Structure 1
């Protein structure tokens, strides 16, 4: 996944949609400079910013990061090294906020071919899904396998430890953070898929 060219992919999709950088930025509610920096691989957008941009292009994060290789019919096992990384902070590695780079979201299966999003999430110490809570259609839940995770949903915040689980309406603004000094591993699912 390190070879994935986020900037070129965004530029290609934007041009196919017939939008200028300025028009895309205006519709998405982000700055023209942000779109330009992303397309030149000079910055790593937050998940929230990239989702706003991709929403205008009628694309999910998962579809954006998916390779063009078709899924194998009948396949039901996905090895850890075959999971699709969908976090822009990990893709860029050398740019962007440390908290975003410290987060890894890996999806099983291909985008658009299932009604369930299944993720293996790694939150290194300090990892954060972004300074702003985000929301989307559907429900999501997960289990903390290792470490601790601070979860905010609506106006409530809870600390989850290994063995704890969560389940909530994704339309409520939410945010995930690892405030501990050790990595946190979470296995989660959401429906419908939004990444």
Structure 2
């Protein structure tokens, strides 16, 4: 996410909707200082925290990072054209972020040692699955945890509370998909308190 100004983009979207920091904080269920610190780029929010704030706008994670313009559908996407939707620590690169009427999300995920999706469990409509390419990751789904390594896979109902955490010594790489693309595209996402 090098060079992307998270604070300026959040401020732009908040102002475009005529919301004060206080009002956005109230809608998102976070403190006023959280919004202020994110807008000043003083803190880098976790994926789950940023998702909670964006859901209150509402704006999707892919629109937040990709901008609102759509592109023509095409079959191939070079690595440097994948849209970064991670939190600056972990990397989630979304395939075809600007494609109109996209009915699934395919994400190339990279978790450095110790990285996780945040203290809050994620919950959103749909199903998701993936394959661990390298490293290890602990995935918790609805209270059940497993550590997966290269070649291992997962598939679950995304409405169940879930979290990903790299518990290994090396970077973990996953290629995942979810449908419908509710996590990256907004919708009826819920957050587990």
TM-score (norm 2): 0.89
Q: Which residue of 2 aligns with 1:38?
A: 38
Aligned length: 182
Q: Which residue of 2 aligns with 1:96?
A: none
Q: Distance in 2 between matches of 1:23 and 1:70?
A: 29
Long gaps (5+) in structure 1:
91-100
Residue 112 of structure 1: how far off its partner (Å): 6.3
Alpha carbons 2:107, 2:177 under 8 Å: kept = yes
Local SS of the residue matching 1:23: helix
Residue 111 of structure 1: how far off its partner (Å): 4.3
Residue 2 of structure 1: how far off its partner (Å): 2.2
Residue 121 of structure 1: how far off its partner (Å): 0.6
Q: Distance in 2 between matches of 1:23 and 1:126?
A: 33
Long gaps (5+) in structure 2:
185-193
Q: Which moved more, 1:151-160 or 1:105-114?
A: 105-114
Q: Distance in 2 between matches of 1:24 and 1:67?
A: 20
Q: 1:112 to 1:24 in 2, by over 3 A?
A: farther
Structure 1 residues 1-195: aligned runs within 5 Å: 1-67=1-67, 70-71=70-71, 73-88=72-87, 90=88, 101=89, 103-111=90-98, 113=100, 114-193=102-181, 194-195=183-184
Q: What is the alpha-carbon root mean square deviation over aligned residues?
A: 1.4
TM-score (norm 1): 0.88
Q: Distance in 2 between matches of 1:127 and 1:70?
A: 31
Residue 116 of structure 1: how far off its partner (Å): 0.5
Q: Distance in 2 between matches of 1:74 and 1:37?
A: 37
Alpha carbons 2:11, 2:39 under 8 Å: kept = yes
Moved over 6 A (4+): none
